[in-house]
A and B are shown apart, each in its own frame.
Chain A
Amino acid sequence: MSVALPQIHMQQLMLRYPTGKTAISGVTLDIPQGQFVYLVGESGAGKSSLMRMLYGGVRPSSGRLMVQGSDMRRAGDAKVRELRRHTGIIFQDHRLLFARTVFENVALPLRVQGWKTERLVPRVRKVLAYVGLADRLWSYPEALSGGEQQRVAIARAMTANPAMIIADEPTGNLDIDTARRVLDYLTDLNRQGTTIIMATHDLHLLESHPGRVVELHAGRLIADSYSAQPKSDT
C-alpha cells in the first residue's frame, strides 16, 4: 500500500544521548530500496542506536538523516507516525504481548492503522500461515518455543506490508538452524521488495544468506561491503 521509497540517506550522522554518551558519530551511508543490510559490530558499537533513529525512536543530534523522504531531525509527530506505519520492527527480545494471543499480537499493527475486522482477520491468517503458525492462532506466546515466538514477531512486523523492516538481532537467542529458518522468511520478504536492515552477531548467517554488510565500531562506520562491490544483491 506504500509507494514511498524507503531510501535511507545518512550524512555525518551523529547521535548523542542525554547522558552525554555519543552512540553514533560521523556515519555517512545510503541504503536504496530493496536492499538486505546486515549491521554488525561489537556490543555497544551503536547498532541499536542507529536503528532507533530510523523509526524516530530517538532524534539525531546532528548531521542529516532522511528516511522515506522525511528529515528525521525535523519530522513532526504526524510524519513520524506515517513513517512507522510503513516500517516493521523486530526486537531482539521480540516484545510480544504475553497477555494476548498470537492472533491479537499480529493484528496489532493493522488495528493501529484502523483496519476493519473483515479485512484484518484474513490478512492475519495469511501472514501467520506464511510463517507456518496457522494452527497456533489462539495460543498465547508463552506456549510457543523461542523460534516460534520470533516467527510471530516477524509476522507482526510484516503484517501491515511495510516498505522496510528493521530487525534488531532477531536471531539473538536462537540455535543456528532455527536462526536460518527465521532468516529464510526475511530474505523471502526482501525478494518481494522489502528493505531489510538487520543487526546481528551471527556472522555465519552471512554464508547461507548473503547481503550487504555494514560494520560499526564505537559509533563509527568502519566497513561497508556495498562500496567494495556496488552491485551486491541477495
Chain B
Amino acid sequence: MKQRLFHKREPGREQIPEQMNPRLPGGFHLPPFGVHQLLAVIIVCIALWAIGVIWLSMQAASQWVGSWQDDIRIHVYLDPQGADKGRETALKQQLAEIDQIASVRRIPPEEAARWMQQWLKDAALSEHELAARLPITFELTLSDQESEFLFDDIRDVAEAAGAQVNEDEVGLAQAHHWIAQADYLAWFASLILALAMALIISNTLRMTLLARADEIHLMRLMGAKEWFVRMPFILEGMVLGAGAGVAAWLLLWPMVWVTGGWFAAMEIDVNNWLLLLPLLFGGALVGALGALVATANVVASEAGS
C-alpha cells in the first residue's frame, strides 16, 4: 500500500511525503503509542515480573521436595532388642488402622541390609550381621499426607509401642503439604495482580478512547460494526500486555543467574523458559480484558446526535 501511494504521484499534483501515508482508524490498525502506554507497560511489566518470581520460587520449592512429590513414604523403626513378635504385629496393625495410611509393609531385614550396604559402599559388613542389628522397619504409604493430625497419630502409635518415626521424612512430607498450600497462595496473588494489571491497562486505554471519542462516534454514525470500533483498542491492550510480559520475562533472567549458584548447591534447576509463554499470553489476555472493560463503557455511552 505504501509503495502504491508513493509511486502513483501524478505530475502537477502535490508531492506526497512518504511519512504521510494514511493512518486509517478502526479494524486492525493500532492507535499510536504514547507516553501513557509506555508507563502502563512499565507498571504491568513490574507486576508480571513479580508473578514470574513467585512461580520461579514455586518451581524451586517443588523441586526441593522433589521425588517425594508423588508418593510419600514414612518409615517407622522398632528396636529389635526386646521386641517380640506380638509387639511387632500389634504395631503393624495399629498403624494400618490409621485412615490416611494406605498400606504398611514390614521391610524384610535382608532388603534393608542390602539397601544399607549399597548406601555405605565400602563398609565391609556381612549382610547377615547387619540384618540382625538393623531395626525392624515398617514402610508406611500415605494416601493423604495433608490430613491435619496424621503425623501426630503416627507418632502416638509409634511411641506407645516404643518405636521411632523418621522425623526427616515427616518434615519433608509436611514441607510438601505447605508447598501445596503455597500453590494456592501463588495462584491467588497472580489473580490479584492480573486484576490490577487489567485495571491499569483499561485506564490507559480509556484515555486514548476519550481523546478519540469523536472518531468513535463518527464511525458509529457511518455504520461501523462494534468489533471494528473496538478492535484497535483491544489490539493495543493485547500488545501492551504481551510486550510487558516479554519484558518481564527478560528481566527474570538476572534473577535466575543470581540465584543460580545457590540453587545448584541444592540440586535445584529452575527453568525460566517454561514461563515465557505463560507470561506472554497471560499479559496479552490481561490486556485484552482491560481493553474490553474500557471499551464497554464507550459502548454504553452511545447517545443521540
Chains A and B belong together in one complex: yes
Residues of A bordering B, CB below 8 Å: 17, 52, 55, 57-58, 77, 80-85, 87, 89, 95, 97, 99-101, 103-104, 107-109, 111-114, 117-118, 121, 134-138, 160
From B23, which residue of chain A is reached at the shortest CB distance? A104
Residues of B bordering A, CB below 8 Å: 1, 4-5, 8, 13-14, 16-17, 20, 22-27, 214-215, 218-226, 228, 304-305
> Given A121-B4, A135-B14, does the pair A113, B25 have CB atoms closer than 8 Å?
no
Evaluate contact between B13 and A57: CB separation under 8 angstroms.
no
Q: Which residues of B lie under 8 Å from residue A118 when comparing CB positions?
A: 1, 4
> Given A57-B304, A97-B214, A108-B222, does the pair A137, B23 have CB atoms closer than 8 Å?
no
Bound Cα distance A81, B221 (Å):
8
Q: Which one, B27, B218, B220, B224, contacts A97 given CB within 8 A?
A: B218
Bound Cα distance A118, B22 (Å):
13
Q: Which one, B4, B5, B13, B222, contacts A112 given CB within 8 A?
A: B222
Evaluate contact between A101 and B223: CB separation under 8 angstroms.
no
Q: Which 10 A-B pairs have the closest CB atoms?
A: A84-B223, A85-B223, A112-B224, A81-B223, A58-B304, A138-B20, A112-B222, A117-B1, A109-B222, A111-B24
Q: Which one, A89, A95, A108, contacts B24 given CB within 8 A?
A: A108
Evaluate contact between A57 and B24: CB separation under 8 angstroms.
no
Q: Which one, B24, B228, B304, contacts A104 given CB within 8 A?
A: B24
Smallest CB separation, A51 vs chain B (Å):
10
Evaluate contact between B14 and A108: CB separation under 8 angstroms.
no
DSSP majority for the B interface? loop
Question: What are 21 residue pairs bridging A and B, where the CB atoms are less than 8 Å apart in the complex?
Answer: A52-B304, A52-B305, A81-B225, A82-B223, A85-B223, A87-B223, A99-B215, A100-B23, A104-B25, A107-B22, A108-B24, A108-B25, A108-B222, A111-B24, A112-B224, A114-B27, A117-B1, A121-B4, A134-B13, A137-B16, A138-B16
Smallest CB separation, B248 vs chain A (Å):
32
Smallest CB separation, B1 vs chain A (Å):
5
Evaluate contact between A103 and B225: CB separation under 8 angstroms.
no
Bound Cα distance A109, B220 (Å):
10
From A83, which residue of chain B is reached at the shortest CB distance? B223
Between B26, B214, B222, the greatest number of chain A beta carbons within 10 A of the residue's beta carbon is seen for: B222
> Given A52-B304, A137-B14, A138-B14, does the pair A111, B27 have CB atoms closer than 8 Å?
yes
Evaluate contact between B221 and A55: CB separation under 8 angstroms.
yes
Q: Which one, A58, A84, A121, contacts B222 given CB within 8 A?
A: A84
Smallest CB separation, B33 vs chain A (Å):
15
Q: Which residues of B lie under 8 Å from residue A58 when comparing CB positions?
A: 304
Q: Which residues of A lie under 8 Å from residue B20 when comparing CB positions?
A: 101, 138
Smallest CB separation, A61 vs chain B (Å):
13
Smallest CB separation, A214 vs chain B (Å):
21
Q: Which residues of A lie under 8 Å from residue B214 when comparing CB positions?
A: 95, 97
Evaluate contact between B225 and A97: CB separation under 8 angstroms.
no
Bound Cα distance A107, B224 (Å):
13
Evaluate contact between A95 and B25: CB separation under 8 angstroms.
no
Bound Cα distance A111, B23 (Å):
11
Bound Cα distance A223, B225 (Å):
38
Evaluate contact between B22 and A104: CB separation under 8 angstroms.
yes
Smallest CB separation, B26 vs chain A (Å):
6
Bound Cα distance A80, B24 (Å):
23
10 new A-B contacts, CB < 8 A, other than A108-B218, A137-B16, are: A17-B304, A55-B221, A57-B304, A57-B305, A58-B304, A100-B25, A109-B222, A118-B1, A118-B4, A138-B20
Q: Which residues of B lie under 8 Å from residue A138 when comparing CB positions?
A: 14, 16-17, 20
Bound Cα distance A87, B223 (Å):
9
Bound Cα distance A175, B221 (Å):
28
Q: Which residues of B lie under 8 Å from residue A89 when comparing CB positions?
A: 221-222
Q: Which residues of A lie under 8 Å from residue B26 when comparing CB positions?
A: 111-112
Smallest CB separation, B176 vs chain A (Å):
55
Bound Cα distance A109, B224 (Å):
8
Q: Which residues of A lie under 8 Å from residue B224 when comparing CB positions?
A: 81, 112
Q: Which residues of B lie under 8 Å from residue A82 when comparing CB positions?
A: 223
From B32, which residue of chain A is reached at the shortest CB distance? A99
